[in-house]
């Protein structure tokens, strides 16, 4: 086991017994939602995973230790500190470990730490991708590279149209990452069920998801798999409302010269403000929905 890794006792026991475990990220807590909804949601997501027969392992860096499984106090700490906590991507782990600092893990670092711990499935809201205008800014999330090289299944609700969804799919294709639609042929766009872009494969059961992931492992591939699970119909947003908020957030981002790792948290926070909290409610519902699917898939994988 990696010398910097701490696996929580409950998670360790489940892994050793071959029981299902689902990893969860912490950037969504500190940089993706406002306090206290972020903490409330993180705890509800953990409970949803338990209700669906798996053990949750929320991942973060605390005092330079890579943690797979957090206490409620640690989740509260990350949620309260919010954007003051370092948003930790792949390039940040060496510094955080050496300096014994805290870090909120993105999809990238959650995959890295989950894999170190032996966890194969990870549930979140949305992933990072190719940003609009990336042909000049070169802003492409490290999440795509991680999906290409780390064998973890990521269950999300697609990607927000703060990104260029077409280019994001092209990038994933180049990198050999299968993009699966759960119960859909179309890539979901996070707040809405449709994006206008097709997925590679439609799958309709957790068992089939598990079978594809198992086949990927048995083929000896090193990368992961992206499962996109549409937001439940009743919580989906009106496309006109959400598109207008995203357009405005993107304009402000450009006007204010926001760039680099600040871009995604800035856009996420502005979209919540501009929709008067409506998008936050959708965001919470889709994460819970993904947690349930990931837990069922983890159960199918261990069956």
Site residues, ligand PSU (CB under 6 A):
25, 27-28, 32, 106-108, 125-128, 141-143, 160, 190, 261, 264, 268
The one of ligand PSU, Mn ion, none whose footprint includes residue 143, by CB under 5 to 8 A per kind, is ligand PSU
Clarify whether 160 is annotated catalytic.
yes
Q: Which parts of the chain fold into alpha helices (H)?
A: 9-16, 27-30, 37-51, 72-81, 93-98, 107-117, 134-137, 142-149, 165-174, 206-218, 239-255, 263-274, 278-302
Clarify whether 25 is annotated catalytic.
yes
Q: How far is the CB of 131 from ligand PSU (least distance, A)?
A: 7
The one of ligand PSU, Mn ion, none whose footprint includes residue 32, by CB under 5 to 8 A per kind, is ligand PSU
Q: How far is the CB of 268 from Mn ion (least distance, A)?
A: 13
123, containing H or E segment: strand 121-123
Nearer to Mn ion, 253 or 288 (CB): 253
Catalytic residue among 25, 46, 76, 146: 25
As to burial, measured by CB atoms within 10 angstroms (0-12 exposed, 13-18 middle, 19+ buried), residue 219 is exposed
User: Which residues are at the interface with Mn ion (CB under 5 A)?
Assistant: 139
The residue sitting closest to ligand PSU, measured at its beta carbon, is 126
Residues in CB range of 70: below 8 A, 6 or more apart: 8, 26, 58, 59, 60, 62, 78
Map tokens 């949803």 to a residue.
Answer: 48
Nearer to ligand PSU, 33 or 300 (CB): 33
Nearer to ligand PSU, 69 or 103 (CB): 103
The one of ligand PSU, Mn ion, none whose footprint includes residue 195, by CB under 5 to 8 A per kind, is none
Nearer to ligand PSU, 149 or 211 (CB): 149
Taking the C-alpha atoms of residue 73 and residue 104, their distance in angstroms, rounded to an integer, is 15
Catalytic residue among 12, 67, 87, 160: 160
Exposure class string for 32-50: b at 16+ Cβ within 10 A, else e: bbeeebbbebbbebbebbe
Q: How far is the CB of 191 from ligand PSU (least distance, A)?
A: 9
Q: Which residues are catalytic?
A: 25, 160
């Amino acid at each position: 086991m990696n010398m910097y890794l701490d696996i929580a006792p409950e998670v360790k026991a489940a892994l050793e017994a071959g029981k299902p475990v689902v990893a969860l990220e912490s950037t969504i807590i500190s940089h993706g939602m406002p306090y206290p909804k972020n903490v409330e949601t993180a705890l509800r997501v953990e409970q949803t995973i338990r209700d669906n027969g798996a053990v949750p392992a929320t991942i973060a860096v605390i005092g330079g230790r890579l943690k797979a499984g957090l206490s409620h106090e640690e989740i509260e700490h990350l949620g309260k500190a919010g954007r003051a906590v370092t948003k930790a991507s792949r390039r940040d782990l060496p510094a955080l470990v050496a300096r014994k600092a805290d870090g909120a893990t993105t999809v990238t670092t959650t995959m890295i730490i989950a894999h170190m711990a032996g966890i194969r499935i990870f549930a979140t809201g949305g992933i990072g991708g190719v940003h609009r205008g990336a042909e000049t800014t070169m802003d492409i999330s490290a999440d795509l590279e991680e999906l290409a090289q780390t064998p973890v299944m990521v269950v999300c609700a697609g990607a927000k149209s703060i990104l260029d969804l077409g280019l994001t799919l092209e990038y994933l294709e180049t990198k050999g990452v299968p993009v699966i639609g759960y119960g859909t042929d179309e890539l979901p766009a996070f707040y809405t069920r449709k994006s206008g872009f097709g997925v590679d494969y439609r799958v309709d059961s957790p068992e089939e998801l598990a079978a594809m992931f198992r086949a990927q492992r048995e083929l000896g591939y090193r990368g992961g798999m992206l499962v996109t699970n549409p937001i439940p119909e009743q919580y989906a947003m009106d496309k006109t409302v959400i598109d207008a908020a995203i357009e405005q957030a993107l304009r402000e981002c450009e006007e204010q010269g926001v760039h680099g790792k600040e871009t995604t948290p800035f856009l996420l926070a502005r979209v919540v403000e501009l929709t008067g909290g409506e998008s936050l409610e959708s965001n919470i519902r889709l994460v819970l929905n993904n947690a349930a699917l990931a837990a069922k898939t983890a159960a199918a994988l261990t069956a």
